[in-house]
Structure 1
Amino acid sequence: MTGSGFETSKRTQRRYRAEKRFKALCIAALTLAVVFLAIFFGDMIRKGYSAFAQAKIQTEVTYNERSVEIPLAAVGEDVRKLVSRGWLRLIPKQVEANPELMGRTITRWIVADVQVDQYLKGKHHQLDAEQQAVVDRLVEEGRAELGFNWTFFTHGDSKMPEMAGIKSAVVGSLYTLMVTMLVAFPIGVMTAVYLEEFASDNHLTRLIEVNINNLAAVPSILYGLLGLAVFINFFGVPRSSALAGGLTLALMTLPLIIISTRAALRAVPDSIREGAFGVGASRLQVVAHHVLPLSLPGILTGSIIGLAQAMGETAPLLIVGMMAFIPDYPTGVTDAATVLPAQIFTWANEPARAFAALTAAGILVLLAVLLTLNATGVILRKRYERRW
């Protein structure tokens, strides 16, 4: 083998070794990411699965004037210290909603106190020996058990962990995202269509494009400050409302929708436009009848991803006051509301240990929604996209 051939062989071997090292580093990085993701999900599931179970006690509930005035009198003395006072406070509302209950005694399963719940789940509790004996007896009699925690999905926030739920936060999130998309989607799509199809290529449009790209990288908390200054302080939008939160998130989502819409419009071949122009269509007809329909899958994908990003935001909503204690769900976009990420943040700061499980359960619900939205975007793109 000649000298030059030997040197070439050595360089080739070094290149192959470098490629193998690079491949090994990539695999190690991917493995590390998967491990961290598995640890995160495992930790959330370990902490949060117990929140989907709730302790309940079967007892007779008496509906009369005394129990309406003093709800604790509605249940027997043997379980008065074991049932949730939050559930008992609902008795006047139950009678108001169903007056036929007055004067009746009904055997019902009612929510147990948080300490009973923790005891039945084998966690730290503050029940004394006598109360533990009563709970054990109720379990043996089939009058105390762990069932599915419907309260978590049907109730709003509460200072009592056993009565706290995500209903008000979910409704507030829906109102907020509805406002976000009603504002951001049409404005974002029309802006992208104008810049891509109608605007001239000059210094002004290039400056606008650069600023749109820069806005997509601005920290979200700055959008919260902008929303506070513009929508609340200047326009007088109610603070802590879904309207204020939705408008703020719309500002944050606009750049992403504009960028994704422009990319979808660029993906349509120029031959489509030229063919439409060739048969006498105007530019508006070309865009409305040909370009926009063909780019719609990409536009919807980008919008759904933007919606998922807005769903997981907390910082801008903290600035506009959507951290209020909301036990009842809002009935309109101007009512005081909170969102699921803010609700999780609130529970994470509660001192009671039971709120830790609620926090993890809320995170699991939020992750499920976000993964569903992102998966929907990917499925729509794969199903409807066209390859030219």
Structure 2
Amino acid sequence: MNDFDTQIERLNTHSVKWDHTKEIFGKEDLLPMWVADMDFKAPQEVIDAMKTRLEHGVFGYSKATEDTIDAVKHWLKTRHNWEIESDWIVFTPGVVPAISAAINTYTEPGDGVLIQSPVYYPFGDMVRKNGRKLYKNSLRYTGDNYEMDFGDLEDQFKNNKIKLMLLCNPHNPVGRVWKREELRKVAELCIAYDVLLFSDDIHFDLIYKRYKHTLISSLSDEIQNRTITGIAPSKTFNLAGLQFSTIIIPNERLRNQFNTYLAKIGFFSPGSMGIIAAEAAYRHGEEWLQGLMDYLDENLSYLKRFISEELPEIKVIEPEGTYLVWLDCTELNMEHKKLEAFMQDEAKIAFDEGYIFGKEGEGFERINIACPLATLKEGLNRLARAIKKYKIEKP
């Protein structure tokens, strides 16, 4: 039986989320509801597999095997109806390092790389830090959700000599699970303007019941031939600290180039615990994942209900996927830095501030609901008390 209600003490576990609050935010008394890891134990089958490996006691160099590859292929086929070849797979310590590797492999300094803001902030960071030119195809906010601006996307491809596009699906932070027809339009434009595509699908298992995830590379041979897809068990099973990701590159030439770059920086293989955990998760984690999604659905319902009843000034952008919820706080009429200070100094909560995802995110907050309901209630009650006090004191 999966227990997602138990509040697990995470202090003194080297947790970025819980142990480094003061270092990151400058304050110690904040409830952390920011970074995308969960406050839940991994599936017991994963823990047991790691215990068995620990008991062996020898931790020399490790390398992923055919068993690892077969576990990934099995998961993709059974969960996502995508049948891939073994030699398409490259293992890396994370999707973000793979994005950096792709930027360095397929573009030159000064080349154009496109993102869709507001988007996961390492996308832009990797482009800038690697000396490429960043272009933004901003998503259109409808007031309830987000959509792609395909006219602007084509103009960017046509006029700015974009070499690489970074796609986020499901989208972090706005929670969209892009529809098949939306992805088909992206694919058609990438093909027409000879743009390579890196599709970050790391949240692809975390889809709410009314929606269906599509891997863009599965749409056609043409788009598959120019797409690099990043997935991982890290978000699905809360294994981010084990640093194991799968990068799928069907095009042999692109794959060889990618592997050459990894060799150049001295990367050999993920660590043994990441390999063991990934195999166990992909082989035995489906029941746990179903329980997780049911729990997240309940947390999301509670969040929506609470905000509707207690905080009508805030609008919930309902996620179609991920355990991250995008909150529109613009009706509070606070400049984004004032909003950040308010959330930390008055509400005593550490959110991911909307502006870090791009200028388009100013006035928004990203909250992580992958926590016991009691933690979520505590965070929302803190927020409600702070806003009610603010409204009373506001001149």
TM-score band by shorter chain is under 0.3
Structure with the larger helix share: 1
Structure with the larger strand share: 2
TM-score by length of 2: 0.23
Structure number with greater CO (CA < 8 Å, separation at least 6) is: 2
TM-score by length of 1: 0.24
Higher alpha-carbon Rg = 1
